[in-house]
Amino acid sequence: MKIISKSAERVLNHPVEFALQTLRGFSENQGMFLAGAIAYYALLSLLPLLILSAILLSHWVDPQELLNTMGHYLEWLVPSQSQAVLADVTDFLDNQIKIGVVLVLTMVFFSSLAFSILEKAMTVIFAHHKSIRKRHFLTSAVLPYCFVVSMFVVLLIVTIATIAIQSMDQATIHLFHRYWSLHGLSGALLYALGLTIKILILTSIYLVLPIDRMKLQHALIGGITATLLWEVIHYILIWYFTTLSKASVVYGSLTTAVVALFSMEIAAALLLLGAQVISEYERLGDE
């Protein structure tokens, strides 16, 4: 009995060929163009979403711990600019500015646009599905808001888990008649938690957005691929923006917006590239 599928065996035997085929498909589907549109609307909804999250979730967890968690994951999304973005969120909390209808509508409007473009991009990438059914327009309308709510829940859970993990630094365990300090373990656990959360979020996107049902193992392949690629690239971006980049000299006060948009476009491109990996993998199965 075979442990791996024929598709996986072919990818392992010809990884370069599969990678080139994926990149060709990504180029033919105008992946970078679609990524730019997704990043633009995602950036417009980012700050309102963060402010709304901070104001709502600060009722359940310590605001400073919440901001620390936000800053940690913002650094993953917008390398070297997380503190600048978080400063506006901090001002809202410090000044106790109440959320208004305009803020909520802004976040909802641009989030729905970003999801609409992402959904259309998935339709292009998974065109080989040749689905004869269409998603009900109410389902497409509700999906962005369901995702936003789920992000609130995930952020709350991650913040609580982060507080619990950080408290381990001061703890010791008694094992084999010796006391073992857990100091230093929290960093590795936090990194593993963050990596797992990122993979699960991307996997859920690949599972939900395509109209046809996606196999869980295929969605995991895309989620793991996109996450690991971004892990490498985001460290390169941090190094570039902190050592070589002269963006602050060229763009001045617009630096944060320009760098954030550039980073989010790369992240969106990798999100679509992960979908393209799934698409090409499925094609191997069809063959």
pLDDT tens, 91-114? 777 765 555 566 667 666 776 777
pLDDT above 90 covers a percentage of the chain that reads 10
What ranges do the domains of the chain cover? Answer: 6-129+155-166+183-286
pLDDT confidence of residue 1: 46
Confidence of residue 24 (pLDDT cuts 50, 70, 90): very high
Cα–Cα distances in Å, from 197 out to 183, 201, 223? 23, 6, 10
State pLDDT tens for residues 113-158: 777 788 888 888 887 776 555 666 666 667 777 777 777 788 778 7
Are 165 and 190 contacting, i.e. CB atoms less than 8 angstroms apart?
A: yes
The angle, 0 to 180 degrees and rounded to 10, between the axes of the packed helices 6-13 and 15-28 is 100
Out of 6-10, 127-131, 172-176, 209-213, least confident range? 172-176
pLDDT at 63: 78
Digit-coded pLDDT (tens) for 27-65: 998 889 899 888 888 888 777 777 777 777 877 888 787
End-to-end CA distance of the chain: 21
Question: In the predicted model, is pLDDT for residue 176 greater than 60?
Answer: no
> Average pLDDT over the chain, rounded to whole?
78
Task: Please report which confidence band the pLDDT of residue 273 belongs to, taking 50, 70 and 90 as the band edges.
Answer: very high
Tokens linked to 251: 């763009």
Give the per-residue pLDDT at 171.
58
User: From the CA atom positions of the chain, what is the Rg in Å?
Assistant: 21
Cα gap 110→45, rounded to integer Å: 5
Instruction: Answer yes or no: are the C-beta atoms of 8 and 280 closer than 8 Å.
Output: no
